[in-house]
Structure 1
Amino acid sequence: MIWSEKPANPEEFAIPRVLTGIVERRWLILGCVAAGVAVATVGYLDQPARYRAEAVLALDVRKFQVLPTESVVSPLPQESPVLRTEVDIISSRSMAERVLAYLKSTGVDVAKGFGLAPEKATGQAASNNLHVDRRTLLDNLTSGVRVTNDGRSYTIYVAFTGMEPEFTAAVANAYAEAYINYQVDLQTTATRRVSDWLGTRLVTLRSELERSEHAATSFREKSGIAKSNGTTLLSQQIAGLNAELARLRAQLAGSVARLATALDVPDGQSGLALVEVLNSPAIQQLRSEEARLKRQLASISESGAVKNPQIPDLTSQLETIQAQIGSEVAQIVDSLRTEIEVSRRQQTGLEANLKQLQAEMSNANEAIVQADQLDREASANRAIYESYLTRYKQTIEQDGIAMAEARIISRAVPSWSRSSPSASAWLLGGLMFGLAGGLLATFLLELRASFLRRPDPHESSVGIPIIGRIPELAVQQRSGVADLMRHSLSPFAHAVADVQGRLRLSARNRNVQVISVTSAGAGEGKTLVSSCLARSLAATGLRTVLVDANLTNPAVAEEFGVEPLDAAETFGSYENVRLDDLVRHDGPSGVDLICTAAANVPSEHILGRDGFARLLSTLRQTYDLIIIDSTAVSNGSSALLVSALSDRTILVVPEGADPASTSRAIRKFETAGIAVDGLVVNCASRTTLERRNVVPFVADHSGPATEGRKRVDMSIDTPSAVGM
């Protein structure tokens, strides 16, 4: 990726190369467009006028429920596939047959509406013509109708296109009415069909129910296992005995527990914890008397009259009452024992009766199982019969109240403005067709011209592609190169922009920052190419620096009119000099410059030091692209040293140069293990440019520059995206 903070100047943008052929063949393209418009006009005038009418249907989301029962035909689910299905039903051929019948019933002459003349025939021929006419009418109906849904609502649009406005509206409304009638007929037919089937089925189910109930009753009567309240009498007896036995066992357990409680208390308190003892009126009266005597004795004892004559009498009465209480308690305990014994004998009798009934039950189990099976069969037949009978009555109630699940919310009205043919559509189609034909013709002509090109002698001899040709400049134009670069209509500016564009396209898979520009010999235009290339790159918004490494005959300072620096201090001792002290800025072009004067020592001594490599490393961190005006290959190994530190090497070759000298220069690079990435032909004549299919642009393709930091992707494939 290449990043730039300097906005591009709009007038310095180069027009994409793809527009060159379009500009050259503009009259051919315009002729094709005119021909397309003419053909479209003729086609538009030749087409008959057609009118369009539209009826709007809406599927009801809220259902009209008359009876609280389920309908025979379930309502339409409100889903997109269901809506799509309903749209297909409306546009089907069967619906067209309904529409045709509806139109004929309302007195509409369908054949006249379609502009079909009636045919006269008799006998079998008349029957055949009638069949053919009906099929033709159906074809016209299905081809003219268009049913749509927007996918966001339950609204269906039924549009019909025809040659008469009134007939078109009548057909659209007929489609809507036919669809409503179709839904009503569907529900009515289904309801009647179901009710007929249910009536026939009920007769069979009634016979099966009567047979199964009679079989179950007869078997129980023969087996003596008749039921009462859903169970047999034997089962009811066993259940009653079990309940009585459980009650008796609980009563016996309670009596035994009370007796054990009475017997476990200390002597003199026997039976006092029993409920019977506590609830006995006689014992309650005796204990009240006992309490009274104890209170009298306690009061006499508290008064201190120990020799009171009442004490013996009161004591004798207290003992008598206590003896009576003990006698009453003993009687209650004896009665409890008697009760326990009676309960045990009752339990024994109930258990004996239960065993006898269980024995009888085991003998009747097989008959009961068979009787239960017959009962279940009869119950199942009764449930089925009742469900069918209920559904039959519901279906009969629903007959005659079928309602459509759609309604017409907008009827079609005749439209007197024709819908087709559309003048704008025909005109746009003619323009597009003519433009496509012109572009195709341009492409074929350019392809033919590319096949007719003659191979370049430099490409044939050295096998390195030519990435650009710089046109020859007049003497008066040589001093105004900067103005030529800023003028996008100039062939020279286009040629330089073409070179920098191809460089950036070919570098899409490589991180190219440093480009070395050299030549086979001196005076072949490498300084012109490098300076113009730097101006063109800076015009695209890239931070570009031009380094003059031609220490033998430097010319960059003179080209830009700046003061040169000492070569030894600039390249040889870079660590002792700040970068800001070396860089000169050219305001008109936006290019930064590092210019040196001629060195008084061999250039290899300066360029071979580590200072030059460190300078390039620092420039890589500061600039997007670094253009180096290198030394000519014939002046020694300086060009090889510079190319070894560069990412890409360009060899400038003058027009008409000897291919042998170019081959020798390239062999020097190959010997050093350095690849030359491309050739730039300098001072190419106009004849050569036209023969090589390099044509100057005649229109400006620059756009508004964007302020701030701008990103240019080196991996894109179209020239227009890389500033060509």
Structure 2
Amino acid sequence: MIVSGNPGFSEELAVPRAIAAILNRKWLILACVAAGLAAATVGYLDQTPRYVSEAVLALDVRKFQALPTESVISPLPQESPALRTEIDIMTSRSMGEKVLVQLRKAGVDVARGLGLAGEAGAGAKSTAHPVIDDRVLLEQLLSGVRVNNDGRSYTIYISFTGINPDFVAVVANAYAEAYIDYQVDVQTTATRHVSDWLGTRLVSLRSELERSEHAATAFREKSGIVKSDGTTLLSQQIGGLNTELAKLRAQVAGATARLETALDVSEGESSLALSEVLNSAAIQQLRTEEARLKRALATISESGAVKNPQIPELTSQLETIQAQISMEVSQIVESLRNEIEVSKRQQAGLEASLRQMQKEMSAANGAIVQADQLDREASANRAIYESYLARYKQTIEQDGIAMAEARIISRAMPSSSRTSPDGPAWLLGGGLFGLAAGLFVTVLLELRSLFLRRSHPDEGAAGVPIIGRIPELSQHQRSGIAKLICQGHAPVAHAVADLQGRLRLSARTGGVLTLSVTSAGPREGKTFIAACLARSLAATGLRTVLLEANLSAPAVAREFSIQPARTVVDLVAGRDGTSLDDVVRCDVSGVDLVCAGVAEGPVEHVLGHEAFARLLATLKRNYDAVVVDCVAVSSGSGALLVSALVGTTVFVIPAGGEPLQTTAALRKLAAAGVAVDGIVVNEAARSTLNRRASTTADLYAANESRKRSDASVDMPSIAGL
């Protein structure tokens, strides 16, 4: 691929280029694949057969409840983090130690099962075989066990890998049983530890409870605070006095109201309506007598005997009776006054007693508060002691009924078929590895030839940019270069197309592209580059002619596999009336060829001849693109003469060439006023190009020698051009 400035791949051509690179190096890739398969086969045969057995556990979602009490350890949470923790416990070193102890108790030869000992086991005392360290056995057990969960259930899969199928099954089952024993042991140990701690704690709590109760009782006895039904006697007395005082106050109020009523109605007869009056027996007798007298007077008055002598007597008796009733009412009113006075005196006495007891209550409040505090402390100690005592009895009842929260639902069985090494997997892996290695090497080689080449040192020294880079070609690509340039997707086709596109864009000679291809010395691939450029230009539809001006070692005829009858030398010398049509040959790629022969004298006599200049001018008129395969700069000034007649000069340097020779050639062109438009780095195999150049040179040398033996003529001017 050509690298110029900051080159890049076209996205549309990336896939065809990759396919072309793979096809070009298919034998390398196939060799890598074969090597990978061979290595996989050797590795497969060298591996020790291994077997896998798997035991399956299921965590119980439902927990067995033997007693209606809370267990010491809470049930295992049915969550992913908890399940992950249990899996980590199964693969821990402590669990491995338990399994190792369990296997030894069962009489299993762990060392022999792991393939670490021959005849003697881990616990054998034979002197022929050393005892295997427990750390080594433990590491082997941990490396072989695998515990996993599918994430959708509470099922745990325990698998073990080893070289002995029977031993593998035993270890897998041992891990499952060790985990169940671990769960039971955790519950039993926790229950017993809690029971021991509660028993020790109960002793101290009992002592504390006895101390607090004794302190509360002693303080009450000392303070004289006696309680009855939860209250002190003093409080009960104060409550009774308050009740009596309330009743007495109500009685005084009632008597006062009756007295006031009696005083209000004492003026009239309505006083007889008082309850005290109505309930008095004397007043009732007097009122009966009064009523009899009034009836007698009414009878006499109705009879009309107004002069009846009984009227004054009856009237006198009636007045006496009424006076006695009034006296009785006055006595009743006075008794009410006395009753009120007595009640008030009783009330005053009760209030005095209540005030005295309240003073005593105030003095006893401090002692009561302290006594209540001591009672509360004793009650709290009693509650704590009773709760600890109940929990202690529960833990004692739970001891011995610990049950695991998992069960084995499928025990591991010895495997009848080995799981590793897997032959198809090894072959597939080897093939994929070989393929990857082949592709990797192909990419490295392509990058080396296409991208990773640094700019030639002459670019910076001479100030000439590198406008193209022709990648390295295989022998098959060299033989079909014409087809690759016109139809293929190989990197060389894109490199040449990119180069000719750049040259067309930078052409300085109007619409006709005229360019010369030269190099510092012979056999550096300039003829190959010129031929590739001509084919690529013709593929774009331009009328293209390749003019060979390399008279020292012509190679165009060899490059295109033709045998020209006439050459540029014949045309310039005018031998036998040679015309332009006689020397132009048409190639199948669409390129017209004007081949050259080996010059008899200095090449400058031909290239500097006026006829050669007219030939070049004629080609410019008849073609859209003229490519001149020029002589090397080191061969004389022929390259300078040709470059002065064309618009674009391309300088070819071989990859890994001599920098000093290239720099000298570029300086020589610059000193002659020839502007080199760019450098093309030729990374193609130089050996084939050299063979082509030498063979072509020998061919034309023999042809020219034959012609010189026929006649020797001078070089006249070509008037017919």
Q: TM-score scaled by structure 1?
A: 0.53
Q: Distance in 1 between matches of 2:327 and 2:643?
A: 159
Q: Which amino acid aligns with 2:409?
A: I
Alignment check: 8 A CA contact 1:57 1:157 kept: yes
1:217 and 2:253 matched: no
Per-residue deviation, 1:46: 0.8
Q: Which amino acid aligns with 1:402?
A: A
**Equivalent residue, structure 2, for 1:408:** 408
Q: Distance in 2 between matches of 1:381 and 1:341?
A: 57
Aligned ranges 1:431-510 → 2 under 5 Å: 431-450=431-450, 451=452, 489=488, 495=494
**Equivalent residue, structure 2, for 1:385:** 385
Q: Distance in 1 between matches of 2:231 and 2:146?
A: 70
Per-residue deviation, 1:50: 0.8
Q: Which amino acid aligns with 2:204?
A: T
Q: Which amino acid aligns with 1:220?
A: R
Q: Distance in 2 between matches of 1:261 and 1:448?
A: 136
**Equivalent residue, structure 2, for 1:171:** 171
Q: Distance in 1 between matches of 2:237 and 2:358?
A: 10
Q: Distance in 1 between matches of 2:119 and 2:104?
A: 15
Per-residue deviation, 1:218: 2.0
Alignment check: 8 A CA contact 1:90 1:179 kept: yes
1:356 and 2:356 matched: yes
Q: Residues 117-145 of structure 1, C-alpha deviation per residue, up to 9 Å, x if partnerless?
A: 2549999998x955x44333222211111
Q: Which amino acid aligns with 1:134?
A: D
Per-residue deviation, 1:187: 0.8
Per-residue deviation, 1:654: 7.2
Gaps of 5+ in 1: 1-11, 287-307, 310-325, 470-482, 504-515, 527-557, 560-651, 664-680, 693-724
Q: Distance in 1 between matches of 2:238 and 2:443?
A: 108
**Equivalent residue, structure 2, for 1:106:** 106
Q: Distance in 1 between matches of 2:123 and 2:99?
A: 27
Q: Residues 340-380 of structure 1, C-alpha deviation per residue, up to 9 Å, x if partnerless?
A: 77766555444322221121122223322332232223222
Does the residue aligned with 1:159 lie in a helix, a strand or coil?
strand
**Equivalent residue, structure 2, for 1:139:** 139
Alignment check: 8 A CA contact 1:14 1:488 kept: no
Alignment check: 8 A CA contact 2:449 2:683 kept: no
Q: Residues 518-558 of structure 1, C-alpha deviation per residue, up to 9 Å, x if partnerless?
A: 853344579xxxxxxxxxxxxxxxxxxxxxxxxxxxxxxx9
Per-residue deviation, 1:248: 6.2
Q: Distance in 2 between matches of 1:146 and 1:45?
A: 25
Per-residue deviation, 1:461: 6.1
Range that drifts further, 374-383 or 38-47 = 374-383
Aligned ranges 1:176-195 → 2 under 5 Å: 176-195=176-195
Alignment check: 8 A CA contact 1:262 1:270 kept: no
Per-residue deviation, 1:401: 0.6
Distance 1:468 1:524, change over 3 A: farther
Q: Which amino acid aligns with 1:147?
A: V
1:153 and 2:153 matched: yes
Does the residue aligned with 1:15 lie in a helix, a strand or coil?
helix
Q: Distance in 1 between matches of 2:441 and 2:339?
A: 128
Q: Distance in 1 between matches of 2:453 and 2:269?
A: 142
**Equivalent residue, structure 1, for 2:509:** 521
**Equivalent residue, structure 1, for 2:25:** 25
Q: Distance in 1 between matches of 2:342 and 2:505?
A: 134
Q: Distance in 1 between matches of 2:157 and 2:271?
A: 100
Alignment check: 8 A CA contact 2:109 2:121 kept: no
Q: Distance in 1 between matches of 2:335 and 2:76?
A: 83
Distance 1:458 1:236, change over 3 A: same
Q: Which amino acid aligns with 2:509?
A: G
Per-residue deviation, 1:20: 3.8
Alignment check: 8 A CA contact 1:99 1:178 kept: yes
Does the residue aligned with 2:15 lie in a helix, a strand or coil?
coil
Per-residue deviation, 1:251: 7.8
**Equivalent residue, structure 1, for 2:84:** 84
Does the residue aligned with 1:73 lie in a helix, a strand or coil?
coil
Range that drifts further, 75-84 or 246-255 = 246-255
Q: Distance in 1 between matches of 2:74 and 2:18?
A: 64
Range that drifts further, 385-394 or 159-168 = 159-168
Distance 1:344 1:380, change over 3 A: same
Q: Which amino acid aligns with 2:98?
A: R
Distance 1:399 1:270, change over 3 A: farther
Q: Which amino acid aligns with 2:407?
A: R
Q: Distance in 2 between matches of 1:427 and 1:145?
A: 26
Q: Distance in 2 between matches of 1:462 and 1:259?
A: 145
Aligned ranges 1:307-706 → 2 under 5 Å: 347-450=347-450, 451=452, 489=488, 495=494, 519-524=507-512, 661=647
Distance 1:112 1:688, change over 3 A: closer
**Equivalent residue, structure 1, for 2:118:** 117
Per-residue deviation, 1:382: 1.3
Distance 1:455 1:123, change over 3 A: closer
Q: Which amino acid aligns with 1:359?
A: K
Q: TM-score scaled by structure 2?
A: 0.53
Q: Distance in 2 between matches of 1:401 and 1:147?
A: 28
Distance 1:442 1:381, change over 3 A: same
Distance 1:24 1:73, change over 3 A: same
Distance 1:94 1:250, change over 3 A: farther
Does the residue aligned with 1:55 lie in a helix, a strand or coil?
strand
Q: Distance in 2 between matches of 1:20 and 1:329?
A: 148
Q: Which amino acid aligns with 1:117?
A: G
Q: Distance in 2 between matches of 1:525 and 1:264?
A: 153
Q: Distance in 1 between matches of 2:42 and 2:682?
A: 46
Q: Distance in 2 between matches of 1:255 and 1:66?
A: 76
Q: Residues 460-510 of structure 1, C-alpha deviation per residue, up to 9 Å, x if partnerless?
A: 8675966999xxxxxxxxxxxxx999x97566997499869x99xxxxxxx
Q: Residues 418-462 of structure 1, C-alpha deviation per residue, up to 9 Å, x if partnerless?
A: 111122332232123222322332233234334557759999867
Alignment check: 8 A CA contact 2:21 2:490 kept: no
Alignment check: 8 A CA contact 2:17 2:489 kept: no
Per-residue deviation, 1:337: 8.6
Q: Residues 585-631 of structure 1, C-alpha deviation per residue, up to 9 Å, x if partnerless?
A: xxxxxxxxxxxxxxxxxxxxxxxxxxxxxxxxxxxxxxxxxxxxxxx
Does the residue aligned with 1:156 lie in a helix, a strand or coil?
strand
Alignment check: 8 A CA contact 2:16 2:489 kept: no
Per-residue deviation, 1:200: 2.4
Does the residue aligned with 1:17 lie in a helix, a strand or coil?
helix
Per-residue deviation, 1:250: 7.3
**Equivalent residue, structure 1, for 2:44:** 44
Q: Distance in 1 between matches of 2:628 and 2:248?
A: 135
Does the residue aligned with 2:56 lie in a helix, a strand or coil?
strand
**Equivalent residue, structure 2, for 1:301:** none
Does the residue aligned with 1:213 lie in a helix, a strand or coil?
helix
Q: Residues 638-674 of structure 1, C-alpha deviation per residue, up to 9 Å, x if partnerless?
A: xxxxxxxxxxxxxx997979699569xxxxxxxxxxx
Alignment check: 8 A CA contact 1:453 1:691 kept: no
Alignment check: 8 A CA contact 1:270 1:329 kept: no
Q: Distance in 2 between matches of 1:186 and 1:33?
A: 56
Q: Distance in 2 between matches of 1:156 and 1:446?
A: 52
Q: Over aligned residues, Cα RMSD in angstroms?
A: 5.6
Q: Which has the higher contact order (CA 8 A, sep 6+)?
A: 1
Q: Which amino acid aligns with 1:54?
A: E
Alignment check: 8 A CA contact 2:52 2:162 kept: yes
Q: Distance in 1 between matches of 2:491 and 2:133?
A: 74
**Equivalent residue, structure 2, for 1:95:** 95
What is the percentage of aligned positions where both structures have the same residue?
62
Q: Which amino acid aligns with 1:169?
A: A
Distance 1:440 1:467, change over 3 A: closer
Does the residue aligned with 2:102 lie in a helix, a strand or coil?
helix
| Corresponding pairs, count | 472
Per-residue deviation, 1:97: 2.0
Larger radius of gyration: 2
Q: Residues 566-595 of structure 1, C-alpha deviation per residue, up to 9 Å, x if partnerless?
A: xxxxxxxxxxxxxxxxxxxxxxxxxxxxxx
**Equivalent residue, structure 2, for 1:302:** none
Per-residue deviation, 1:188: 0.8
Q: Distance in 2 between matches of 1:426 and 1:215?
A: 86
Per-residue deviation, 1:163: 1.4
Per-residue deviation, 1:330: 12
Distance 1:244 1:68, change over 3 A: farther
Q: Which amino acid aligns with 1:214?
A: H
Per-residue deviation, 1:101: 2.5
**Equivalent residue, structure 1, for 2:622:** none
Does the residue aligned with 1:402 lie in a helix, a strand or coil?
coil
